[in-house]
Amino acid sequence: MTASRMRDNVERWVIHEGLSFEEVKNPENNFQILVKHAGQYGIPIDVFEPKGQPGILVIGAKVVMKNNQIARYLGFSPEEKEKFEKKVADFCYSIQAINKIITEDGKQKIGVYVVLDDKENINQQTMLEAIDSVSEKYDKTARFLLKTF
């Protein structure tokens, strides 16, 4: 499936579900759209195809750390940061999410992602299930952060 065809499909599926979205310019991806209110928690969810992995659809959301959490995190020594990042990675692994700690717009965020890489099975149904799954993983990760950090 070509990048433009995958983007067309994703946009059609999102429109079909009545979800509002906007295109996001990201040089790392062939295309990226931000679904504004998705899943059971009505959160913003990114759907994109990485340039380095054509034919793969990544669905993810970013949990923004609270200001006091960011302040603590930024005050960590390299060892403490590593320990925290391992704790987050272990938790995300336990809920079957790929994670990435990101600094964006001056905030620390934890991205949780689901990857659809079976080209034959990337369709409206699997994408919507992945959006619901990411919404749930987002909520679990946000609660995990509140409890452990």
Higher pLDDT, 78 or 148: 78
- Tell me which amino acid residue 76 is: F
pLDDT of residue 119: 78
Domains of the chain: 3-148 (3.30.1460.10)
Whether the predicted pLDDT of 120 surpasses 80: no
CB atoms closer than 10 angstroms to residue 120? 6
Residues 27-69 have pLDDT tens digits of 999 999 999 999 989 999 999 999 999 899 999 999 999 999 9
Complete edge-to-edge strand list for the sheet that includes strand 98-104: 21-23, 29-38, 43-50, 57-64, 107-116, 98-104
Query: If DSSP states are collapsed to H, E and C, what string results for 1-24?
Result: CCHHHHHHHHHHHHHHCCCCEEEC
- Tell me which amino acid residue 90 is: D
pLDDT of residue 16: 95
Q: Residue 138 corresponds to which tokens in the numbers above? A: 């987002």
Phi, psi (deg, nearest 5) at residue 110: -115, 115
Q: Which residues pair with 62 in a beta bridge?
A: 111
Residue 149 burial (C-beta neighbours within 10 Å; 0-12, 13-18, 19+): middle
Q: Residue 109 corresponds to which tokens in the numbers above? A: 């965020």
